[in-house]
Amino acid sequence: MGGGAVLVDGYDTLLLDLDGVVYLGRHAVPNAPQALHRAHDQGVRLAYVTNNASRTPGAIAAHLVELGVPATAGDVVTSAQAAARVVAERVEPGAKVLVVGGMGLRQAVRERGLTPVTTAWEKPVAVVQGIAPGLDYGLLSEGVLAVRQGAMFIASNADTTMPTGRGELPGNGAMIRVIVTATGVEPEVAGKPEPPLHRESIIRTGAVRPLVVGDRLDTDIEGATNAGVDSLLVLTGVATALDLLTASPEHRPTYVGEDLGALHEVYPEVRQGACGGWQATWSDGALRLEGQGARIDGLRAACDAAWAAAGEKALEAQAVQSVLDVLG
């Protein structure tokens, strides 16, 4: 892990996940509004990059403003927009697209010059699916029929769950299995960790030195790895200390922070399993952690030692249990 300077100072754009990073349901994550206002005031571009395709950028921006977060519709980049671009680049302008999802997905399809439809009778060239409240059997059935007729199948994202204030609920990755099971056709995925959403973000922001900020290893961090850019994992959403310590190479973030407040802190040097007052070591097939200080520094030290010991593989949970006991 890097370190030695205020984290945000090295980047011109923050590509921020929303669920679990900026908000949980209707409520802001603690420290998020303050941290984002501070970055915005310093001239850092904020882009809210979400796999959630259910709402329009305008609706998302309005929600962020209500929470005290600086945002406009132009700052929001969704997997719906990425999915619509994937389709638009392959078909004729005005082509019919069956939208199995909500208003955010329908709007994105229209903005790309395509025609959203709701039935397979209209012979759409593509089916685009995204999560939406109230997604019903009838619309899923139309998606099945269209895919069986030969329409390309694009999923806004494949997140199996999504974090909410009540806990993790089924995500689009769970819902797309209805069409997959009924047709045997796997969709092409536009959202994180696949390249289309990152490409969409760069096109819309013009970022030169972006930092991806997320709470999930399998979408946010893997997406950053796939794109070859730095990443910050915050512990306010899905990922846990165990997930980090047992992460495979593509799921290892550049930085780890408790929350978005880490953006404005001097990131400590993490070297050879040492960080702050902590020292992590690997011996006899197990990871050990000794010292004292901030818990997050202990986790950073332990991750450094764990990833060095694991190399291109991933450690098993039992190998890091003593570290989890120390960190509490």
Asked whether residue 323 is domain-assigned, the answer is: yes
Q: Which of 115-119, 145-149, 170-174, 309-313 has the lowest mean pLDDT?
A: 170-174
Q: Is residue 158 part of a domain?
A: yes
Are residues 181 and 277 located together in one domain of the fold? Answer: no
Q: Which residues are catalytic?
A: 17, 19
Q: Are 220 and 192 in contact (CB under 8 A)?
A: yes
**pLDDT score, position 124:** 98
The answer on pLDDT for 54 being more than 90 is no
Q: Is residue 242 part of a domain?
A: no
pLDDT tops 70 at residue 2:
no
Confidence of residue 25 (pLDDT cuts 50, 70, 90): confident
Predicted confidence (pLDDT) at residue 214 exceeds the cutoff of 80:
yes
Instruction: Answer yes or no: is 23 within a domain.
Output: no
Phi, then psi, of 101 in degrees rounded to 5: 175, -160
- The residue out of 134, 168, 189 marking a domain boundary is 189
CA dist 51 to 32, 161, 182, 256, 279, Å?
Answer: 19, 11, 24, 21, 37
pLDDT at 223: 95
* Structural domain of 325: 268-328
Cut 0.75: pTM above it: yes
The sign one gets for the Cα dihedral 159, 208, 35, 73 is: negative
Chosen domain end from 166, 189, 212: 189
Query: 295 in helix, strand or coil?
Result: helix
pLDDT at 3: 63
> Of 169, 189, 209, which residue constitutes the final position of a domain?
189
What pLDDT score does 167 carry?
83
245 lies in some domain = no
Number of domains in the chain: 2
Mean pLDDT of 33-60: 95
Average pLDDT over residues 57-71: 96
* Predicted pLDDT at 133: 86
Neighbours of 305 (CB within 10 A): 26
Asked whether residue 83 falls in the same domain as residue 176, the answer is yes
- 175: CATH: 3.40.50.1000
The band of 38, judged by pLDDT with boundaries at 50, 70 and 90, is very high
16: which strand partners?
Answer: 48, 213
Is there a domain that residue 164 lies in?
yes
What strands lie across the sheet with 152-155, from one edge to the other? 115-117, 96-100, 126-129, 152-155, 188-189
Q: Summarize pLDDT for 223-279 with one digit per residue, the tens.
A: 999 999 999 999 999 999 999 999 999 999 999 999 999 999 999 999 999 999 999
